[in-house]
Structure 1
Amino acid sequence: MTQREIFFVANEVNELGGVGRWQEQMARLLAGRGHRVTIIGIAPPEVPMDLGENPRFETLTLYDRRPPGRRRPRVPLGRFDPAVRRQEADMRRAAERLSRAFRAAGPGAVIIVTQVWAMEWVVLADTAGHPVIGMSHESFEASRRSSRFERVLRYYKDVDRLLLLTQEDADGWVGAGLNNVGFLPNPLPVTPGAPSPRTEKAVVSIGRLSHAKGVDLLLDVWAEAAPRQPGWILRIYGAGDYEAELRQRCTELGLDGSVEWAGQTDDVIGALRRASVFVQSSRGEGFPLVLLEAMACGVPCAAFDCSPGVREIVRDGEDGLLARHGNTTELARLLVRLMSDENLRDTMGERARENVQRFAPDVITRRWEELFDFLER
């Protein structure tokens, strides 16, 4: 195995969230296999994630505070607009720090740009001939509905490989005109020693209390499901700006007696071991790590079929159940099906624990190393 110098270039080094968790895990896995790894962030995180003591990789952040978005030139000044020129000069100074790091790396180095905003600095840098891998951690449809769609087309069109999380998402970008596209799923974040006993009458949700995570939809789901299975509780882990609004909605629906607001947790596995069912009600996802974690804990999942990543993880009817995107009545029915049938929970939970091993860290890390070798040829 060739030992390489690997750079992750991201919006932030350690922002709390799915991309930050994935980045920290991949850096740790690759460093554990003898590679020299550096994570470079453009700006400091808004909500930092603890990287632990003495991580096995280096970190660097280009700015002391988050820089503003790109300015639009004022008509009729165009590219001669002084404000735009000052911003471009500032970005080039920051990009020169990237150039110095890339030039100092030896043969075989690889640059992985995990988010398209960070790519705006990488395109200004001297990549010193090293392969550049761009990434998008959201579904193709989510990108297409956002401002990131045009930026992915613009900034990733010339990278050596653009990686998506599923074949279906990769096919979407091929259809949009990119010819450098592949896919690699996220690795299983943890391999718990023991599964959930699935004995507590608890349905668990874990995620930010945000519009995207659809906790408002989950409360509507629970309002239909809870009366049909008395004695069960919905335990919601997470924090966010929508918390007060969601709690008020919970009260209005008469659910205070069966909903537990558990707050943000650093012990996801501990939370899942107290669950008999996991539910995800997101409006959109990329390749949700918490679904992988729930399955690794032997907890059967019921979720909205909101993205190719969810369909890739959960095999509907085999190791979990999927409802049509946004159909709260259907998701409530699936929850009741799992809550009411202990044998079904146990069967699906054990299958989930087995099936999720196709995303085992060693499997995914080897696929990354095979890609590095291919791009070096």
Structure 2
Amino acid sequence: MTQREIFFVANEVNELGGVGRWQAHMARLFAERGHRVRIIGIAPPEVPMDLGTHPPFETLTLYDRRPRGRREPHLPLGGIAPAVRRREADRRAAAERLSRLFRAARPGAVIIVTQVWAMEWVALADTAGHPVVGMSHESFEASRRSSRFERVRRYYKDVDRLLVLTQEDADLWVGQGLNNVGFLPNPLPVMPAAPSPRTEKAVACIGRLSHEKGVDLLLDAWAEAAPRQPGWILRIYGAGDQEAALRRQCTELALDDSVEWAGQTDDVTGALARSSVFVQSSRGEGFPLALLEAMACGVPCAAFDCSPGVREIIRNGEDGLLARHGNTGELARQLVRLMADENLRDTIGERARQNVRRFAPEVVTRRWEELFDLLER
């Protein structure tokens, strides 16, 4: 195995969320295999994630505060405002800082750009002949609904490889005329020694309290499911800008006695160990780590079929249950099936724990290293 210098260039070094968790996990996995790893963030995070006391990788942030966007009004007769000139000069200086790091790297180094906003700086830098891998951590459809879609097509069309999370998404990007697309799944974040005992009458939901995560849809589904299985609670872990509105909705639906707001948690495995069912009601996902973690803990999952990543993780009826995207009545029925049947919970939970091993860290990391070798040829 060739030991390499691996640069992650991201929006932030340690932003709390799925991409930040994936990035820190992959950086640790590469470092454990002898690679020298550096994470370079463009700007400081809004909500930082704890990377631990002595992470096995280096970190660097280019700006002290988040730079403003490029869309600024010009002066009359085609002039450019002084503030715009200063921002462009700052951007070029930051890109030159990247260039110096890349030029100093030894042969065989690889540059992984984890988010397309960060690619705007890498595109200005001298990558010194090192392969550049650009990434999109969301589904094709989620990207198409956002401003990132055109930026992916613009900034990633000439990188050595554009990586997405599933074959289905890769095919859709190929249909946009990109001929450099591949796919790699997220690695399993954890594999506890023992599964959840699945004895507590608790359904867990773990994620940001944001519109995209669809907790409002979950509360509507829970309003149908809870009366059919008295004694069960829905335990919601997370924080976010929708919390106040969601709590009001919970009260309006008369669910306060069966919903527990557990707040943000750093102990996902512990939260899952106290659960017998996991539910995900997102409007969109990439390759959700929370589903992988729940399955690794042997907790049977019910989820909206909202993206190719969800379909790749859950084999419906075998190691989890899917409901049509946004269909709260169907999600309620899938929850009731799991809550009402201990044998079904145990069967699906154990199958999930076995099947999710196909995303084991050593499997995914080896595929990354094979890609590095291919790009070096």
* Aligned equivalent of 1:50: 50
* Aligned equivalent of 2:242: 242
Q: Select between 259-268 and 73-82 the one with higher mean Cα deviation.
A: 73-82
* Aligned equivalent of 2:252: 252
Equivalent residue runs for 1:165-204 within 5 Å: 165-204=165-204
Instruction: Give the letter for the 2:205 counterpart.
Output: S
* Aligned equivalent of 1:363: 363
Contact 1:71 1:84 in 2 (8 A): no
Deviations 1:210-258 (A, max 9, x none): 1111111110000000000011110000111111111111011010111
Instruction: Give the letter for the 1:189 counterpart.
Output: P
Equivalent residue runs for 1:154-165 within 5 Å: 154-165=154-165
Q: Partners of 2:256 and 2:82 in 1: how far apart? A: 57
Q: Secondary structure at the match of 2:336?
A: helix
* Aligned equivalent of 2:27: 27
Q: Partners of 2:329 and 2:22 in 1: how far apart? A: 33
Contact 1:113 1:133 in 2 (8 A): yes
* Aligned equivalent of 1:314: 314
Structure 1 residue 134: Cα displacement: 0.1
Instruction: Give the letter for the 2:168 counterpart.
Output: E
Structure 1 residue 79: Cα displacement: 7.7
Counting aligned pairs with the same residue, the percent is 86
Equivalent residue runs for 1:114-193 within 5 Å: 114-193=114-193
Q: Partners of 1:140 and 1:73 in 2: how far apart? A: 31
- 2:289 matches 1:324: no
Deviations 1:63-121 (A, max 9, x none): 00000011245376558554433322110001111001000000000000000000000
Equivalent residue runs for 1:258-269 within 5 Å: 258-269=258-269
Equivalent residue runs for 1:81-100 within 5 Å: 82-100=82-100
Deviations 1:106-142 (A, max 9, x none): 0000000000000000011000000000000000000
Contact 1:167 1:182 in 2 (8 A): yes
Q: Partners of 1:75 and 1:144 in 2: how far apart? A: 33
Q: Partners of 1:237 and 1:145 in 2: how far apart? A: 27
Q: Secondary structure at the match of 1:212?
A: helix
* Aligned equivalent of 2:296: 296
Instruction: Give the letter for the 1:86 counterpart.
Output: R
Q: Secondary structure at the match of 2:127?
A: coil
Q: Select between 77-86 and 294-303 the one with higher mean Cα deviation.
A: 77-86
Q: Partners of 1:305 and 1:256 in 2: how far apart? A: 27
Q: Partners of 2:157 and 2:47 in 1: how far apart? A: 31
Mark the CA change 1:105 to 1:279 in structure 2 (over 3 Å): closer, same or farther. same
Structure 1 residue 374: Cα displacement: 0.2
* Aligned equivalent of 1:277: 277
Instruction: Give the letter for the 2:16 counterpart.
Output: L
Instruction: Give the letter for the 2:284 counterpart.
Output: G
Contact 1:73 1:79 in 2 (8 A): no
Deviations 1:289-313 (A, max 9, x none): 0000000000010000000000000
Q: Partners of 2:77 and 2:183 in 1: how far apart? A: 42
Mark the CA change 1:79 to 1:337 in structure 2 (over 3 Å): closer, same or farther. farther
Q: Secondary structure at the match of 1:355?
A: helix
Q: Secondary structure at the match of 2:38?
A: strand
Q: Partners of 2:283 and 2:249 in 1: how far apart? A: 18
Deviations 1:1-56 (A, max 9, x none): 00000000000000000000000000000000000000000000000000001111
Contact 1:79 1:85 in 2 (8 A): no
Q: Partners of 1:164 and 1:303 in 2: how far apart? A: 21
RMSD: 1.1
Q: Partners of 1:75 and 1:141 in 2: how far apart? A: 37
Q: Partners of 1:79 and 1:232 in 2: how far apart? A: 65
Q: Partners of 1:286 and 1:4 in 2: how far apart? A: 28
Instruction: Give the letter for the 1:68 counterpart.
Output: R
Q: Partners of 1:139 and 1:366 in 2: how far apart? A: 23
Q: Partners of 1:79 and 1:41 in 2: how far apart? A: 32
Q: TM-score, normalised by structure 1?
A: 0.98
Deviations 1:326-353 (A, max 9, x none): 0000000000011101110000000000
Q: Partners of 1:64 and 1:194 in 2: how far apart? A: 43
Mark the CA change 1:173 to 1:361 in structure 2 (over 3 Å): closer, same or farther. same
Mark the CA change 1:99 to 1:238 in structure 2 (over 3 Å): closer, same or farther. same
User: Structure 2: which 5+ residue stretches go unaligned?
Assistant: none
Q: Partners of 1:110 and 1:163 in 2: how far apart? A: 14
Deviations 1:238-282 (A, max 9, x none): 111111111111011010111011010010000001111000000
Q: Partners of 1:350 and 1:171 in 2: how far apart? A: 32
Q: Secondary structure at the match of 1:244?
A: helix
How many residues are treated as equivalent by the alignment?
377
Instruction: Give the letter for the 1:174 counterpart.
Output: V
Q: TM-score, normalised by structure 2?
A: 0.98
Instruction: Give the letter for the 1:290 counterpart.
Output: A
Instruction: Give the letter for the 1:338 counterpart.
Output: L
Instruction: Give the letter for the 1:134 counterpart.
Output: G
